[in-house]
Chains A and B, each alone.
Chain A
Amino acid sequence: MTATQPAPAAPEAAQGPILEVRDLHVHFGARRGKGPTAKAVDGVDLQVQPGEIVALAGESGCGKTTLARSILGLVEPTSGQVLYRGKPLGRGTAALKPYRREVQLVLQDPTGALNPRQSVYESVAEGLRIHGVKGDEETLVADALARSGLRPPRRFFLAYPHELSGGQRQRVVIAGALALEPSMLVADEPVSSLDASVRGEILALLLGLVRDLGLSILVVTHDLGLAWNIADRLAVMYLGRIVEQGPTETVLANPRHPYTRALLSVVPEVHHLETQILSGEPPDPTRVPPGCRFHPRCPALASGEAARAGVDDRCRNEAVPILRGVAEHHAACFLTDESVKKESERRPRTRGSHAEGLQ
């Protein structure tokens, strides 16, 4: 494991990130030892600062949910670490319990995320009971519901999920999280199952929580437009790796990685990029290509741009180093990111801890 890795010297580091992921790998073994392993998360570094909204974007199957679940300790990482306020997560339910009060999960589909046989009150109160939170339970539940925009809260106490609309259900899920006064939310596509009309409301609610309660949010999405609207920082994931990250505005205004460019070019609001439809097979985590993992589909390589820059050989054969979880804008691409180019040139000699291929 990479416990000795030095903390990056970002300006925010004075307080330190609230959540940090270091060189995380989550590999799913094939059933009964047969077949290949799926490298759902294959070397991820990520940081979330206090009060920050970080969006994790990428197409379906790139490992976003797996990463979110391992951050919550729901999936055991194959290697690497998740640190909360500088401390590695414990293992096992008992060790994780204090952490699970601090970091709350909001799932994609609120219909599934709520027990159909529990009333709104019971659902929200469950966390309070699990953690033995002191105070008047009814008041705490009512406060959490009100803060999530369900007013007057007491009217919802006895309602069952099937009696509520999708947006109301997601508010109940959020209320269940807020009741525990967490410092961070991990939201896995929190609005993608909702009607377009209520998406904005739920996103506004999340933004309000950051503003009023100082929460940090890691929001998983495959919608770059959504990231644009709410996130301070954006991490783009491809096939188990983060291929580009940085401040949302910088990344979106000046995307470096050909994958990010392609994703962005199909966002309706974006006009400065020529529309690129990615060709080739969708990525398969059981067969990660050698070299840059995006190279079989990379438009820059296909168009000869990489060859003109003299990096095409490296694209095909040389592993791209893992991006550091720092605030600055970075992309895991030989063609477009100077520091990656240099770092990987040094790699054979220094064998830095971020380089791939050490396991």
Chain B
Amino acid sequence: MAATSTRTFRPSAGQRRLGAKLIGAALSLAFVLVFNFFLFRVLPGDPAKNLTRNRLVPAEQVEVLRESFGLGKPLPQQFAQYVRDTLSGDLGISYKFRRPVSEVIAERIWPTVLLLGLSTLLSTAIGLWIGIRGAWRRNSVFDRVSLGASLALYAMPEFWLGIMLLIAFGVGVGPLPGLFPTGGLSSPDTELASLAGVADVARHLFLPCLTLTLAYIAEYALVMRSSLLDELTEDYLTTARAKGLRDALVLRRHAVPNALLPTTTLIFLNLGFIVSGAITIETVYSWPGLGLLSYEALRTPDYPLLQGVFLLFSAAVIIANLIADLLYAYLDPRVRTG
């Protein structure tokens, strides 16, 4: 009868959990918002001066610039303005591009989404496949080779892997010509909307995507392998096998779904971090996404733009975290109804 009483309890418990998670995420976002504001006011460097770096600009003009960016006002007023603007989607004007930050970000977000989306899909699919196969055929040649390769890849810093691949396939080694372009999103003068344009973008996408995919395959394969190995010792697999279920189905219906639980969470957690992790890869390959944009903003330094990008990266981590939590609760009845 314990079952029934828990059952009537279930929706409210689930809702309470959901509510708590949402509030937690909202608080984190608010904190980032506040932190963001103060962080960028504390940083050294006068933005207006930085803007005019290396150029002789009359003091009055610097003052005008200062005014136009709202830097002249007292701090509390700046803060109120900042919160109001941010909430309405106005992230200020980029010093560098002299255009609204939201516009610049909107433009540069797509290359990043393309790069991260594709590499996440690929690394997830391949990594899970390798992990599952390795665990199922533990100690086979496949398992040993893939385990060794995964560990090596996992230990390798992303930027180093990126540079190696760039040299090998982009620049070319010895007599080998570079097979892929070394940077950018497309070659100059290509019509992006054409078939040739798509092929050109794909060629440019190849190396950065390969780098990110390899970097994450390793992690997913290792996590999947170890969580499946854990799962494979569970008694309920013996029960299923003793009932006559074929081994392949025991794996597919019982072991893998349960082993996927920790892996799924990891993938979503990672998703938040890959966004910021893309900075290195995009910089190595001059891939014109948000990563490269942050690098450019950092060099100026373009505070409003940095602020905007930073806000977006933090939001990505927080939201990915939230999704991971919710997904875990959805997938695991012990959390869902416990």
A32 to chain B: closest CB distance in Å?
A: 8
Question: B4 in the interface, Cβ–Cβ < 8 Å?
Answer: yes
How many angstroms from the CA of A176 to the CA of B6 in the assembled complex? 23
Question: A204 in the interface, Cβ–Cβ < 8 Å?
Answer: no
Interface residues of A in 143-194 (CB under 8 A from B): 155-156, 158-160, 162-165, 168, 173, 176, 180
Closest residue on chain A to residue B236 by CB atoms: A115
Interface residues of A in 241-255 (CB under 8 A from B): none
The residues of B that contact A131 with a CB separation of less than 8 Å are 243-244
How many angstroms from the CA of A74 to the CA of B239 in the assembled complex? 10
Residues B235 and A162 in contact, CB atoms below 8 Å apart: no
Question: B332 in the interface, Cβ–Cβ < 8 Å?
Answer: yes
Residues A100 and B239 in contact, CB atoms below 8 Å apart: no
Closest residue on chain A to residue B233 by CB atoms: A112
Most buried by A among B3, B6, B254: B3
B60 to chain A: closest CB distance in Å?
A: 70
The residues of A that contact B3 with a CB separation of less than 8 Å are 120, 155-156, 159, 163-164, 168
The residues of B that contact A162 with a CB separation of less than 8 Å are 333-334, 337-338
Question: A130 in the interface, Cβ–Cβ < 8 Å?
Answer: yes
Residues B334 and A107 in contact, CB atoms below 8 Å apart: no
How many angstroms from the CA of A208 to the CA of B243 in the assembled complex? 22
The residues of A that contact B235 with a CB separation of less than 8 Å are 107, 109, 112-113
Q: Name the one of A69, A96, A126, A163 contacting B240, with C-beta atoms under 8 angstroms.
A: A126
The residues of A that contact B332 with a CB separation of less than 8 Å are 116-117
Closest residue on chain A to residue B261 by CB atoms: A117
Interface residues of B in 221-268 (CB under 8 A from A): 234-236, 238-247, 254, 257-258
Residues A113 and B236 in contact, CB atoms below 8 Å apart: yes
Residues B244 and A100 in contact, CB atoms below 8 Å apart: yes
Most buried by A among B2, B7, B236, B238: B236
How many angstroms from the CA of A117 to the CA of B244 in the assembled complex? 20
Residues A130 and B242 in contact, CB atoms below 8 Å apart: no
Interface residues of A in 76-128 (CB under 8 A from B): 93-94, 96-97, 100-101, 104-105, 107, 109, 112-117, 119-120, 126-127
* Number of residues from B at the complex interface, CB < 8 A: 28
The residues of B that contact A74 with a CB separation of less than 8 Å are 238, 241-242
Question: A237 in the interface, Cβ–Cβ < 8 Å?
Answer: no
B7 to chain A: closest CB distance in Å?
A: 7
Closest residue on chain B to residue A164 by CB atoms: B3
Q: Name the one of B2, B240, B254, B338 contacting A164, with C-beta atoms under 8 angstroms.
A: B2
Closest residue on chain B to residue A158 by CB atoms: B7
The residues of B that contact A54 with a CB separation of less than 8 Å are none
Closest residue on chain A to residue B5 by CB atoms: A163
Residues B333 and A116 in contact, CB atoms below 8 Å apart: yes
Q: Name the one of A107, A116, A164 contacting B238, with C-beta atoms under 8 angstroms.
A: A107
Q: Name the one of B242, B247, B258, B337 contacting A100, with C-beta atoms under 8 angstroms.
A: B242
How many angstroms from the CA of A133 to the CA of B272 in the assembled complex? 47
Q: Name the one of B234, B241, B331 contacting A112, with C-beta atoms under 8 angstroms.
A: B234
Residues A160 and B333 in contact, CB atoms below 8 Å apart: yes
Residues A114 and B241 in contact, CB atoms below 8 Å apart: no
How many angstroms from the CA of A101 to the CA of B192 in the assembled complex? 62
Residues A93 and B247 in contact, CB atoms below 8 Å apart: yes
B233 to chain A: closest CB distance in Å?
A: 9
The residues of B that contact A164 with a CB separation of less than 8 Å are 2-3
B228 to chain A: closest CB distance in Å?
A: 15
B35 to chain A: closest CB distance in Å?
A: 39
Interface residues of A in 37-72 (CB under 8 A from B): 69, 72
How many angstroms from the CA of A127 to the CA of B244 in the assembled complex? 8
Task: Kindly supply a per-residue 1/0 record for chain B positions 1-40, scoring 1 wherever the CB is within 8 Å of any chain A CB and 0 otherwise.
Answer: 1111011000000000000000000000000000000000
The residues of B that contact A107 with a CB separation of less than 8 Å are 235, 238-239
B330 to chain A: closest CB distance in Å?
A: 11
Interface residues of B in 192-243 (CB under 8 A from A): 234-236, 238-243
B34 to chain A: closest CB distance in Å?
A: 40
Q: List 18 other contacts, CB 8 Å, given A100-B243, A127-B244, A162-B333.
A: A72-B242, A74-B238, A93-B247, A94-B246, A105-B239, A112-B234, A113-B239, A114-B236, A115-B240, A116-B236, A116-B258, A116-B332, A116-B333, A155-B4, A159-B7, A162-B338, A163-B6, A173-B239
- What are 28 A-B pairs with beta-carbon distances under 8 A? A72-B242, A74-B242, A93-B241, A93-B245, A93-B246, A101-B244, A105-B239, A107-B238, A112-B235, A115-B240, A115-B258, A116-B236, A116-B258, A117-B258, A119-B333, A126-B240, A131-B244, A159-B3, A160-B334, A160-B337, A162-B333, A162-B338, A163-B3, A163-B337, A164-B3, A168-B2, A176-B239, A180-B243
Report B's interface with A, CB cutoff 8 A.
1-4, 6-7, 234-236, 238-247, 254, 257-258, 331-334, 337-338
Going nearest first, the 6 A-B pairs with the smallest beta carbon separation are: A112-B235, A159-B3, A100-B244, A105-B242, A160-B333, A115-B236
